[in-house]
Structure formats: structure tokens, C-alpha cells
Amino acid sequence: MKKCRHWQRILILFFLSFFVFAQFELVSQRLKAIAFTGGNDFVGDLASIKYMADDIRLNAIEQETAKGLKGPKVVVFKKNDFSSTVHHISVGNHDSDRSRDPKDADILLEAEDSETYGKGKGEHPNMQNIIRMNSREKVYSHNQRFQSQSRKVTDEKVKQMRDQVIIAKVYLNFAQPGHNTHLLKELRTRIKEVERTVEEAYLVQLAARTTPKGLHCLSMQLTAEYFSLQPEERRFPNQKKLNDPDLYLYAVFSDNVLACAVVINSTISSAKELEKIVFHVVTDYLNLPAISMWFLLNPPGKATIHIQSVESFDWLSTKYNSTLKEQKSYDPRFTSALNHLRFYLPDIFPALNKIVLFDHDVVVQRDLTEIWSVDMKGKVNAAVETCLESEASFRTMHMLLNFSNPFLAKRFNANACTWAFGMNLFDLQEWRRKKLTMLYRSYLQLGLKRPLWKAGSLPLGWITFYNETVALERRWHALGLGYNSGLWRGDIEQAAVIHYDGVMKPWLEIGITKYKGYWSKHLQYNLPYLQKCNIHE
């Protein structure tokens, strides 16, 4: 028995040894091939990985990015022509009107289900229900797969970079002393560059999703102060102006005290008729006290301000929250109620006819009175286009919408000109008449059943306001300050509104340094609360 066990051990050790030496031989042959060619191809591969790393960094910075078709040619206005500020966005002749009626959209939802899951009138109703239930269970996996495409691409690139680094390090360990020292030196340099870039790509994403310590401190200080006030001390003046259609009405949805402060401070600093300006700020219940306290301490001059919480909209829980909870995304920005509230503007402001909606990462640099005289031509949305390939803000419908799906391919023109959220003028009367909120909800529900677009509200905006958008002259809204460090200073300084779209926000450490001054000049850093929380330029 002992002799039998002895031979078993020898046999096992033999096979283990064979496996190890076989693997070693494979690696050795690969390294010999590298050494034989001088290693230049390998170093070249590693160098190309560095450029791949730059691409990853850009993807981490931009909120939406991909490759797609070129946008159509558009009419470009003369630089000084602010009197004629709009034209129609070109979408081509397309059979898309059938999807404009919200009732038709609901029918389309049912039709799409029957096409995808029923496949035939003769199928038993119970079987159709079972299929639908099963498909519903698979909704999350389908939606997640499409929504996280860009993240998966980035993960694959990072993995490839790490694999190349491992191979390079193995080569360094096996390289013979004195053999091609220039190659080895170059290889060590490339390894350090790639390792540093992989780390930076991760840190940029982490920093973008982390609340800075100073901002958290500020919110806590202001909240404590707010709750020390008596109820009558928490009231803002001039609340009778809130729904006056003859005034200039602006809205911003935000959970960030400093961002709200800059949007409002910059707007009033450029305004010619300050007493006609009304700001509607919508936040969540956690940040309502802090934002309210900030503006009680720092009122916007003769302008009027109104601050409310999204939780105060009782109707929203039935219309929206149930759908919101079903969405899945790695990035909470895309499923935030504040991000999707823009599609409920007519419900939030039922007495208003028009409103300008700001994203909270914008700075206003000139008086906006003229925008209220824009001819909307019966459309609902006025926005700056993003379909010129020569510009940093270039986007195509293909970037965020899945045109391989027949539903989108049949109803929307893939070459239609795209536009930006950030500074938009909305005609709420036309919005209500055309029932676009109901249409948005139909599209949102359909997106839960199959992967139609990437996460976020921009692609939903493109299809909800399809054929309902006029284009503002470009100098109304300059984009890219949150991801593109190569913008021309003249374009920035001439723009009425500049937008830090992207993850490199000006209130974060990762913000692009040369752009921060446009934002920070609208804050008084000597205020006690900012000093106490160590918030500075």
C-alpha cells in the first residue's frame, strides 16, 4: 500500500512539473520573439496603449461619447446677429409623426410587445402573459447591458492595458543583463505612464461622484442655522410674483448649494431688469434647508426666488417614482429624480406659459432679456445644436440611441440634428397642448422593456422633442468646459451662457483650472461659512 502511494505521488509531481515547465517554455518563446525583433514592436504596442489611455481619460471626462454618422449641414448665423436667433432643426422627411401622439405611443407599446413576445394572433392568451412576465424579469439585464456599453468598453480597455503592463514586467524580469538597454529603459518609461493613466482614469470617476468635504461641511452648517430660525423667518419676499407671465422666469434643479448660488449670482450680475427676474429652485428634502438658508443670508437683490422640494410634489410619486425605481444604471446621475424633472415642467409650474431651464453647472455671462422674444414657431423647445462635427460639442443620434432596434429606426431619422440640454427655453402651453410629458413616459416605459438608449435624459429628450425644437444661435450657449481643455477663449467669453458639462465640474478638484475663474468669480469666498468650511478659489 505504501509503495502504491509513493508511485502515485511521483506521478502527480511529474504532471505538475510538466505543466509548469510547459507554461514557462511558452512565455520564454514569446520573450525570445520579442528580444529577436529588438522589442520595438512590443514597445510600440505599449506606446499605443498610452494613447488608448488618453482615450479612456476622455471617455471618463465626457458624459456621453461614441462614434457615429456625421450630422447634417446647418445654417450658421453671423457673429453679431442676435436679433435673429432661431431656425428649424433639420430632421429630414421621415415617417415619425405616427409616434407623436401619446395615445399612439401607448398603442405602440402594446404593438411592440405583441411583435416581440406574442408573434401571432393564434397564440394562447395565457401563454402570451407568461412570455410577457418572463420578458419583464429580463428587462433589467437587457437595459443594463445597453446602458453600460460605454463603461464595458472602458473596462475592456483598462484590462487590456493592465495585461500589456504585466507582459512588459515579465519581459523586464527575464531580460538578460546588458541586453538592449535602450529598449529596457523605454519599456520602463512606458510602464510607468500606463500605470499612472489607469489610476487617473479611475480617480477621475471617483472624484466626480464624491461630495467634496468643504461642500458637505457647508450644507451641514447652513442646515443647522436654518432649523434655528422661526417659521416666519424662513419666508422669502415677493412670492406674489412667482406666476406672473410678464416676468422672466428661470428654473434650476439642483442638490448643490454652491452651484445654485453661481447660477443665480451670475444671472443677476448681468441682468438689466433685475426686478423682473424670478428664480424657481427645485431640490430634494435633504438639501432644501441648506439652499434656503444660503439665499436667506445672500438674497438675489431685487430678483425673486422660490425654493421647493421635489418631495412636495404629491402627484410625482404616482406619475414618476415607480418607473424611476425600475431603471438601472451605474451612475446615480442618470436615475436622479432631479435629472428627469425637466420632463414634468408643465406639471411643476401649471400657471406658467414659458420658462428657461438651466442645468446647475452653467454660468450666465450676459443679459438674457432677448431670449424671451425668440420666435418658437409653434415648437416647444429652443436649444443650441450639437451636430457640427467640427465643434467639441458634436453629438449624433447614433451615439446614445440604439438604431438597430426597429422601433427607433422606423420612427426617427438617425441623421437628425442633435441639441443640448443646459440652457433651454420651453413653451409650456404648446407642451401641454401636445401632451409631451405623456409621450415621454411612454418612451420611458418602452425603454425599460428593451435596450433603446444609454442611460440619461438626453436621448429621451431627443425623441420626446423630436420635430419640436428650434435652434438658438450658437453664442447663446457654449458647451464643453467640463471635459474639453482646448476650447477657444473667444468662444467662451462671447457666449451668453457657458456650460461645464462633463464630470470635471468647477467646484471639484478635478475641474479644468483655466476655466474655474469664470465660475469662481461669482462666489464671495470671504463669507464666514465658506471660510469656516475651508472653501476657497
Look up cell 468650511; give the residue.
533
6 within some domain: no
Co-location of 295 and 418 in the same domain: yes
How much is the average pLDDT of 479-491?
Answer: 93
Please list the alpha-helical segments (H only) found in 209-310.
213-227, 257-270, 288-297
C-alpha cell at 304: 425673486
**Rounded Cα gap, residues 455 and 491, in angstroms:** 30
Co-location of 352 and 466 in the same domain: yes
**Rounded Cα gap, residues 522 and 511, in angstroms:** 16
Instruction: Please check the confidence at residue 314 and state whether its pLDDT lies above 70.
Output: yes
173-220 pLDDT tens trace: 666 666 667 777 777 777 777 666 655 575 566 556 667 789 999 999
Co-location of 202 and 255 in the same domain: no
Q: Name the band, by pLDDT with cuts 50, 70 and 90, for residue 118.
A: very low
The CATH number of the domain holding residue 426 is 3.90.550.10
- For the four alpha carbons of 519, 521, 523 and 526, in that order, the dihedral sign comes to positive
pLDDT attached to residue 429: 97
- Using alpha carbons, select from 431, 426, 383, 373 the residue that is nearest to residue 251: 426
Look up residue 361 and give its DSSP letter. Answer: T
Q: What percent of the chain has pLDDT over 90?
A: 47
Last residue of some domain: 160, 178, 208? Answer: 208
Co-location of 273 and 153 in the same domain: no
344 within some domain: yes
75-112 pLDDT tens trace: 333 334 433 344 444 443 344 444 455 555 555 555 55
Neighbours of 524 (CB within 10 A): 10
- How big is the chain, counted in residues? 537
Please list the alpha-helical segments (H only) found in 176-236.
181-208, 213-227
* Rounded-to-5 percentages of helix, strand, coil across the chain: 55, 10, 35
**Rounded Cα gap, residues 461 and 342, in angstroms:** 9
How much is the average pLDDT of 293-322?
Answer: 87
Last residue of some domain: 208, 227, 253? Answer: 208
Q: Is the pLDDT higher at 187 or at 330?
A: 187
139 within some domain: no
**Rounded Cα gap, residues 234 and 77, in angstroms:** 46
pLDDT attached to residue 4: 62
C-alpha cell at 86: 432661431
**Rounded Cα gap, residues 383 and 89, in angstroms:** 10
Q: Report phi then psi at 424, rounded to 5.
A: -130, 140
How much is the average pLDDT of 282-311?
Answer: 95
How much is the average pLDDT of 497-522?
Answer: 94
395-404 pLDDT tens trace: 889 889 999 9
110 within some domain: no
- Using alpha carbons, select from 302, 256, 301 the residue that is nearest to residue 281: 256
Co-location of 498 and 423 in the same domain: yes
Contact 303, 279 (CB under 8 A): yes
pLDDT attached to residue 392: 74
433-458 pLDDT tens trace: 999 999 999 998 888 888 898 867 89
**Rounded Cα gap, residues 65 and 162, in angstroms:** 23
Contact 487, 480 (CB under 8 A): yes
102 within some domain: no
Cα-based angle 141, 142, 146 (whole degrees, multiple of 5):
110
Look up cell 488608448; give the residue.
52
- pLDDT averaged over every residue in the chain: 75
Co-location of 417 and 521 in the same domain: yes
**Which of 146-155, 360-369, 425-434, 495-504 is predicted least confidently?**
146-155
Task: Identify the domain containing residue 357 by its residue range.
Answer: 213-533
Q: How many domains does the chain divide into?
A: 2
Element spanning 358, H or E? strand 354-358
Co-location of 355 and 496 in the same domain: yes
Last residue of some domain: 208, 227, 251? Answer: 208
Q: Is the pLDDT higher at 407 or at 194?
A: 407
Contact 439, 102 (CB under 8 A): yes
Instruction: Please check the confidence at residue 260 and state whether its pLDDT lies above 50.
Output: yes
Q: Which residues contact 369 (CB under 8 A, 6 or more apart)?
A: 248, 271, 272, 273
Contact 84, 229 (CB under 8 A): no
Co-location of 396 and 498 in the same domain: yes
Co-location of 188 and 267 in the same domain: no
426 within some domain: yes
Furthest-apart CA pair in the chain: how many Å?
A: 102
Look up residue 282 and give its DSSP letter. Answer: E
428 within some domain: yes
381 within some domain: yes
Co-location of 192 and 287 in the same domain: no
pLDDT attached to residue 454: 80
Q: Which residues contact 78 (CB under 8 A, 6 or more apart)?
A: none
**Rounded Cα gap, residues 13 and 15, in angstroms:** 6
Instruction: Please check the confidence at residue 432 and state whether its pLDDT lies above 70.
Output: yes
Dihedral over alpha carbons 502, 503, 507, 513 (to 10 degrees) = -80
470-484 pLDDT tens trace: 999 999 999 999 999
Co-location of 186 and 327 in the same domain: no
**Radius of gyration of the chain from its Cα atoms, rounded to whole angstroms:** 28
Co-location of 282 and 189 in the same domain: no
pLDDT attached to residue 294: 97
